[in-house]
Homo-oligomer: A and B are copies of this chain.
Amino acid sequence: MKSTLEESLEILSGLGLVLTLQRRAILKFLHEQQGHWTAEAIYGELRPRYGSLSRATVYKTLELLCEAGELQCLRLRKDVMHYDTFTGPHHHFLCEQCGAIIDIPMECPIKASGRIEGHRVDRCIAYFAGVCEACL
């Protein structure tokens, strides 16, 4: 995400999107609580504060923020999607003991080269699984 909430709002605005109360609330929350979130968790956090928030809006807004480049979506678990507020080049480590998701800042050398075996590489989707330092 952009470094400030204001900049993020400008991004959406610049794309011709309406800055509704709901979108502002979600964006504000993600700026304050950076990390790896699920749609359900965000809904659970915001619903009590913004009475009329719906799951559909959360899902739509998160997808929108991904398209706008303000979030990075991750499929680390088979059942649920995570949204990462850190959009710089990095991978992840998933602790299979405590469930922690840890950022691993690194660039994939193959993605950097842009090619593998003649194919054009646009994205490298990767994560490591194991046991984190704290659990060891």
Using a CB–CB cutoff of 8 Å, the interface residues on chain A facing chain B are 75, 78, 81, 93, 95-96, 102, 104, 110-111, 116-133, 136
5 chain-A/chain-B pairs, Cβ below 8 angstroms: A117-B133, A119-B131, A119-B132, A122-B129, A125-B127
Would you call A131 and B127 a contact (CB within 8 A)? no
B119 near A102: Cβ-Cβ < 8 Å: yes
Docked pose: A63 CA to B129 CA in angstroms: 19
Contact B111 A128 (CB under 8 A): yes
A128 touches B132 (CB 8 A): no
15 further contact pairs, Cβ within 8 A, besides A110-B128, A125-B128: A93-B116, A93-B119, A95-B119, A96-B122, A102-B119, A111-B128, A117-B133, A118-B132, A118-B133, A119-B128, A119-B133, A120-B130, A121-B128, A121-B130, A123-B130
